[in-house]
Structure formats: C-alpha cells, structure tokens
Amino acid sequence: MHNCPVEAIGVVLREPRSRGTVVYVDYYSLEADEEWQLSFSLELFQSAAYNYNDATSILKASNQDSLPSVWLVRGIDENQISRRGLRTLRCEEFQAKEDIKITENQWVRIKAYLLAKRTEEKALCKFFKRCGKCKTDCNFRHYFITEAEQNWAQVSSMKRAATLSPGHYADNSKSCRHDIFAAWLVSTLGIVAKSNVVLDIAGGSAGSLSWALWRHGFETFIVDPRAKLGYSRRQRKEIQKYNAPPPTSLPIYFDHNFENKYHQLLTRTSLIVGLHSDEATEQIVDYAIKYGTRFAVVPCCVFPHLFPHRRISINQSEPLIQRPVLSNRDFEQYLISKHPQSIRIAHLNFQGRNAVIFRDHPSEPMPHHSIAVPVDSDHVAVAVKGDRWREEQVIKEKQRAATTHH
C-alpha cells in the first residue's frame, strides 16, 4: 500500500552511505525475513548515534563471535524498489534496541543470506546502464538480471539525459579534459601568458588544470585544501624542461578567509577558472564579478540543498514567477543571469559535463556584489560532508570509549 506506515526490527547489513543530506542503510528485517533499503535525513541518522566501530553491521559481526545490534525502524513504505530490487522505506525513527537479541536461528539465516549475496552476480557497469555498451572490458556486469533492473536503468538514463547540456556527448574522453580546457582558454579568451595570473579553484590534489595552463606559460595558483605542496617525479622533470617557476599550491578554501588573506592576489588575477569545482562554482562567478575579472567555469554538481536561494524564471515573459535551481541546465542559466550582458556559454570537446560558463573580458569591479555561501555553516566548499561527519563520529566514539574506560 502506497505511503503505508511500517515498523520493524532488524539488523544493519552493510556500512551506511551518505549522498548529500540523505543516508542509505541496507537493513535486514527479522520479521519479514528480507533485505530492505532505508533512507534517512542526515540529521535523523546522526541523532541515532550509529557506531561505525562496534559490531553493528553484519559484515563486521560475521567475522567474529559477537552478534550484531538490533535496530527498531519506523517509516513510510515508498511503494518502490531500489535498483537492486529491494523494498524501500523512508524512515522517521532509527533506534538501537539493546534489550532485544537475535536468536541463533535468526543469526544462521542472516549469515546464509549474506553468503548467498556474496556469491551473486557482479555489480552492473555504469556505462552499460547509461549507453547499453561499455568501451572497455571492465570487471562489472554487462547485462540485466531482472526486468525491474532494466526498467530502473532506462528511467535513470532518461532522467539524466534531461539534465544534460546539448553538447554533453563529445569525441574525447574525460581524461583529456584538463588539456582541452586549457587549450580552449588560451585560444578563446585570448590572454597573453606573460605576466598573467590564473587562479585554479578546487583544482584537486594534483592540480591538473593548473599544470596544463602552466605549460602554456601562465603563472598559476591551485586553490584547494587538498592541494599538494610537493611535486611528483614527472612534475620535477617538467620544471627542469620548461625552466619556469611551477604552479603554487594554496591549501585553503575559496571563501571570505581566502579573500582576506590573499586580497592582493585577487586584485592582480587575470583569470579565475574551475573545472568541475563542485560547491565553489558559484563563488568563482561571484568573486569574478566582484573584482571585474575574466572567468571560466565548467559546472558539475548543483547541490540544491546547500544553495536553496537559487532561483530562475519559469519563462522570459513572466520573470517574476520563479522556481528553484535543480538541474545542470538550470544551474547554467542561473550563472548566466548573474551578469547576462557579459557572461556566455560554450561547450568543450570532451565527454561528460562540458558546458563552460565564461566571461572573456574584464569589466568594472562590483565591490558590493554578494558572494554565495551554503546554508549549512558546517559545510565547506570542495569537501565531502559525509566523510567529514564520519571522521567526527569516529573521534566522538574514541572520546566516549576513553570516558567509559576511566
């Protein structure tokens, strides 16, 4: 029955995983004797005090003598199945039941189920799911097991295609995107490399785009908390070959702290770039407008839950009627609307998210232009909050264990 309330007790099969503000849990119902997929809000799951370190999951408990913890679940049956054919529940309560222990018979059934799962088919290849074929002979599965899985793949591909830019599919693979973007910047923006500074925002630990621009003669700065301060063997050889100072790594987030600390660098910057710069994408555009700088960004993820303020007009005839920015096309339109007189869009010749939003000439600075920030103050740009929260949970568990020991 659709939206039917459900209450059950069971055990966690695998380690929970987070996507944005949603946490997914593979759960084995002891009453129904089957596996379910549960979804929680991140806030609700944090309040449940799930412990990653003890034997709360089957995968950990099955390798030792201890039994897994039992969890009470209350939620709503979504009347849908997951891509693995599991019943899905949207949960409103998740509580450990220390007074309930599973029986030996239940434990035997659960371990038998887990063993059967381990010997099942391989996971579905994501390229086969999207395109019906895989260019490489990968180790994943290239066929559908059930009709439900095939239907799920078709619906997923249709939803994804609806959000893609017209030039999404191109000839070159993603591995070439840094060199292609760098060559496009040089040819399209017409910037002379000499004495021009480029900020590569969220360039990653490798700073591949910065190094590609550096080979064209630019002075580049990698702005990313993950940026490496040293150089690989190949990079050291390139430094000797080109006989030029290498890209500078600035392990810091691109926010107001960066602006305060590197204000002089921002004022002499000729170009701000971001290739799949995640949460920092809008900030690149905002700071470029504020300082009157050229910029070019290739948007990737939208993060509507972190930036609910984003709105675009439903149509040009009724600009006051607006809707939230949810898809990549919406995001591209939203970024252009920040300064439509100067901001344009193009598409690069590599596969994947390849729409580039750019301004090819400097303009008058707008010192009072506001900078977008995520609504979650604990969330930082270019960081995976789920990983950060998980690290915090491990620290809290260690502190709790130390307190209990004393």
Residues 6+ apart with CB under 8 A from 119: none
Which of 21-30, 126-135, 136-145 holds the top average pLDDT?
Answer: 21-30
pLDDT mean over 30-43 = 83
Residue-level pLDDT at 159: 67
Comparing 151-160, 251-260, 335-344, 367-376, the range with the smallest average pLDDT is 151-160
Q: Please identify which residue in the block is written with the tokens 């995107």.
A: 177
55 vs 30, which has greater pLDDT?
30
Which DSSP string corresponds to 275-338?
ES-GGGHHHHHHHHHHHT-EEEEE-----TTT-TT-EEEEETTEEEEEEE--SHHHHHHHHHHT
Q: Please identify which residue in the block is written with the tokens 């910037």.
A: 191
Q: Please give the Cα distance from 283 to 201 (Å, whole number).
A: 10
Which DSSP string corresponds to 100-164?
----HHHHHHHHHHHHHHHTSPPPBPHHHHHHS--SS--SSB-S-SSHHHHHHHHHHHHHHHHHS
Q: Please give the Cα distance from 10 to 58 (Å, whole number).
A: 11
Q: What is the DSSP letter of 178?
A: H
Residue-level pLDDT at 255: 86
pLDDT band at residue 334 under the 50/70/90 scheme: very high
212 vs 20, which has greater pLDDT?
212
Kindly list the structural domains of the chain, giving each domain's residue range(s) and its CATH number in brackets, ordered by start: 4-120 (2.40.50.140), 126-163 (no CATH), 174-390 (3.40.50.150)
Residue-level pLDDT at 63: 47
Q: 227: closest CA among 213, 256, 207?
A: 207
Residue 121, φ and ψ in degrees, nearest 5: -65, 160
Comparing 42-46, 183-187, 360-364, the range with the smallest average pLDDT is 42-46
* Mean pLDDT of the chain, nearest integer: 79
pLDDT digits (tens, 9 = 90+) for 276-321: 988 899 999 999 999 999 999 999 888 888 888 888 887 666 666 7
Q: Is the pLDDT of residue 242 over 90?
A: no
Residue-level pLDDT at 199: 94
pLDDT band at residue 382 under the 50/70/90 scheme: very low
Residues 6+ apart with CB under 8 A from 295: 271, 272, 273, 284, 285, 288, 358, 359
